[in-house]
């Protein structure tokens, strides 16, 4: 006869089930929204690709520049989520939305600065990538026009952070799907219907981004009026939002530096190595979306618990999400190994590239459980508002990774050796984040940190 669970065991099971429901309800829509974002670039590539090779080459140069200009400000989403969710936990929805409005005003200010910098410097930026004479004009055209949408893109980031902090990841999913659909329709109409070429693709993206921003602002303004929150810019609040986001900016720039160093090293290894590296990096990024969805759920959940003064609940939620991260990491690693004969030929038919790719791919598969822990703890500490520690930890990781990666070509190592260096990078991140999580110093309760 099966023995009935004891009271403590029953409480633990109940707690796990509660956390599981919360994680699933937030992570699944978040994953959909994350996947929808890169589809913008894919849609542009598919449409522009039929205009000709120079146009596609121009897009290939301009799109990464635009993505970089926006992605370094992802702290607008992360910091806003943490701040808003704390106030939600404290039961002060008015202050939560007011905090979110500060993030939106900061996004508008930063967007204006970036536009002022990118538009006049577009030819120089394109020139840094060594664009050909035929591709450069198209790259400059696309970059200059699409840069006009950067303020809207940053507003979307900040607004997404507000809704995540309010424990709502469904609306960002709906807006992302609507934005992707509108972007595709506008691009087709302007590129081919209106005959605007690559400029039409850029204008389509700008219009779609402003449309998404308008939808978000409508939702936020309605919430502000419902709860009596002010919509006016508050310099002190904007300054606080910038101060909270600054450490996360350092973290993001350090992570981008890691990826740039890895790509530069792969390029020095040879054409087959850089081609294989780009394929692996694309796959790695896709798997990161799945893990990042749980991390995004963690940001909102942890912030809410700490805002409510429930340090024990936050710690239990952290433990459960780490378990999820490890499980998903193992699953992704197994899928990579099992499905590699199916998806590798989809990327390339070059036998040399395939042979270069396969052993490095096994390293990626082996490190997915580590990645699961890293992504989850990253999200947990962001939700706790522990940005300064995240910045220091990522700088330490960069200092460890850079010399190891840069010495790979000198020692005659290939792409597999480079991805072992990436595995080291992830291990260092797991160590630094794990030590912080175990210390409990991130468990700072209250409506503000």
**Average pLDDT over all residues of the chain:** 88
Q: What angle do CA 37, 149, 32 make, to 5 degrees?
A: 15
Token look-up 């270069």 returns 356
Residue 92: exposure state from Cβ atoms within 10 A (0-12, 13-18, ≥19)? middle
| Per-residue confidence (pLDDT) for residue 6, from 0 to 100 | 56
Per DSSP, which regions of 208-345 are E strands? Answer: none
Q: Does residue 41 have a pLDDT over 60?
A: yes
| Per-residue confidence (pLDDT) for residue 284, from 0 to 100 | 86
Instruction: Give the count of beta carbons closer than 10 Å to the beta carbon of residue 255.
Output: 18
- CB burial string 297-322: b at 16+ within 10 A, e below: bbbbbbbbbbbbebeebbbbbbebbb
**Residue range 332-356: average pLDDT?**
82
Q: Does residue 277 have a pLDDT over 60?
A: yes
**Residue range 24-50: average pLDDT?**
76
Q: Does residue 11 have a pLDDT over 60?
A: no
Gap between the Cα atoms of 201 and 198, Å rounded: 5
What would the pLDDT profile of 403-415 be if each residue is shown by its tens digit? 999 999 888 888 9
Q: Does residue 108 have a pLDDT over 70?
A: yes
**Residue range 364-386: average pLDDT?**
94
Helices assigned H by DSSP within 129-197: 136-146, 150-165, 170-188
Gap between the Cα atoms of 394 and 74, Å rounded: 16
Instruction: Give the count of beta carbons closer than 10 Å to the beta carbon of residue 324.
Output: 20
Q: Does residue 1 have a pLDDT over 50?
A: no
- Is the pLDDT higher at 13 or at 136? 136
Token look-up 């989520």 returns 81
- Is the pLDDT higher at 283 or at 383? 383
Position 9 confidence tier, pLDDT thresholds 50, 70, 90 = low
Q: Does residue 92 have a pLDDT over 60?
A: yes
Q: Which two structure tokens, joined as six digits, stand for 436?
A: 């912080």
What would the pLDDT profile of 222-268 be if each residue is shown by its tens digit? 999 999 998 998 899 899 899 989 999 999 999 989 988 888 888 78
Instruction: Give the count of beta carbons closer than 10 Å to the beta carbon of residue 173.
Output: 19
User: How many CA atoms lie less than 13 Å away from 69 in the CB half-sphere?
Assistant: 29
What would the pLDDT profile of 146-201 be if each residue is shown by its tens digit? 999 999 999 999 999 999 999 998 999 899 889 988 988 998 999 988 889 899 99
Sequence-distant (≥ 6) Cβ neighbours of residue 445 within 8 angstroms: 306, 307, 308, 309, 310, 311
Q: What is the DSSP string of 118-137?
A: HHHHHHHHHHHTT--TTTHH
With contact defined as beta carbons under 8 Å apart, do 193 and 326 qualify?
A: no
In terms of Cα–Cα distance, which of 138, 165, 137 is closest to 59? 138
Position 279 confidence tier, pLDDT thresholds 50, 70, 90 = confident
What would the pLDDT profile of 280-328 be if each residue is shown by its tens digit? 887 888 788 888 888 998 899 999 999 999 999 999 999 999 999 999 9
Instruction: Give the count of beta carbons closer than 10 Å to the beta carbon of residue 68.
Output: 12
Position 118 confidence tier, pLDDT thresholds 50, 70, 90 = very high
| Per-residue confidence (pLDDT) for residue 42, from 0 to 100 | 67
Element (DSSP H or E) covering residue 149: none
In terms of Cα–Cα distance, which of 283, 264, 282, 284 is closest to 273? 264
Sequence-distant (≥ 6) Cβ neighbours of residue 137 within 8 angstroms: 58
User: How many CA atoms lie less than 13 Å away from 270 in the CB half-sphere?
Assistant: 11
Gap between the Cα atoms of 265 and 414, Å rounded: 10
Q: Which two structure tokens, joined as six digits, stand for 23?
A: 């994680």
Q: Which two structure tokens, joined as six digits, stand for 49?
A: 């690709």
What is the SS3 assignment for 384?
coil
Q: Which two structure tokens, joined as six digits, stand for 151?
A: 């303020």
Position 69 confidence tier, pLDDT thresholds 50, 70, 90 = confident
Q: Does residue 423 have a pLDDT over 80?
A: yes
């Amino acid at each position: 006869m099966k023995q009935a669970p004891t009271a403590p065991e029953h409480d633990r099971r109940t707690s796990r089930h509660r956390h599981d429901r919360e994680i699933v309800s937030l992570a699944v829509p978040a994953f959909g929204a994350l996947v929808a974002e890169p589809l913008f670039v894919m849609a542009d590539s598919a449409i522009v690709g039929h205009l000709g090779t120079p146009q596609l080459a121009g897009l290939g140069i301009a799109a990464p520049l635009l993505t970089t200009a926006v992605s370094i400000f992802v702290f607008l989403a992360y910091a806003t989520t943490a701040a808003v969710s704390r106030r939600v936990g404290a039961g002060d929805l008015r202050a939560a939305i007011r905090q979110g409005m500060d993030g939106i005003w900061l996004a508008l200010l930063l967007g204006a600065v970036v536009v002022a910098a990118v538009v006049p410097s577009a030819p120089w930026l394109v020139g840094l990538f060594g664009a050909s004479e035929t591709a450069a004009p198209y790259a400059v055209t696309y970059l200059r026009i699409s840069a006009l949408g950067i303020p809207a893109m940053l507003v979307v980031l900040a607004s997404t952070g507000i809704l995540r902090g309010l424990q709502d990841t469904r609306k960002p999913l709906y807006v992302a799907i609507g934005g992707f659909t509108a972007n595709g329709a506008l691009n087709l109409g302007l590129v081919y219907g209106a005959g605007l070429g690559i400029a039409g693709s850029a204008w389509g993206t700008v219009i779609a981004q402003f449309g998404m921003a308008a939808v978000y602002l409508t939702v936020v303004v309605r919430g502000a009026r419902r709860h009596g929150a002010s919509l006016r810019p508050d310099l002190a609040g904007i300054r606080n939002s910038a101060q909270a986001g600054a450490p996360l900016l350092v973290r993001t720039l350090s992570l981008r530096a890691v990826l740039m160093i890895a790509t530069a090293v792969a390029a020095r290894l040879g054409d087959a190595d850089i081609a294989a590296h780009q394929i692996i990096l694309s796959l790695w990024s896709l798997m990161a979306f799945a893990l990042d969805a749980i991390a995004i759920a963690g940001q909102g959940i942890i912030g809410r618990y700490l805002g409510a003064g429930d340090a024990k609940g936050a710690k239990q939620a952290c433990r459960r999400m780490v378990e999820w991260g490890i499980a998903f990491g193992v699953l992704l690693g197994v899928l990579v190994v099992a499905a590699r004969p199916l998806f590798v030929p989809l990327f390339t038919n070059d036998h040399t590239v395939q042979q270069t790719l396969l052993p490095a791919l096994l390293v990626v598969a082996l490190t997915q459980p580590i990645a699961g822990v890293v992504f989850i703890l990253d999200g947990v500490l962001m939700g706790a508002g522990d940005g300064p520690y995240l910045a220091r930890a990522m700088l330490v990781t960069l200092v460890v990774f850079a010399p190891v990666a840069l010495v790979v070509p000198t020692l005659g190592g290939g792409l597999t050796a480079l991805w072992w260096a990436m595995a080291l990078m992830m291990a260092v991140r797991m160590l630094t984040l794990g030590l912080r999580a175990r210390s409990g110093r991130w468990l700072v309760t209250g409506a503000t940190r």
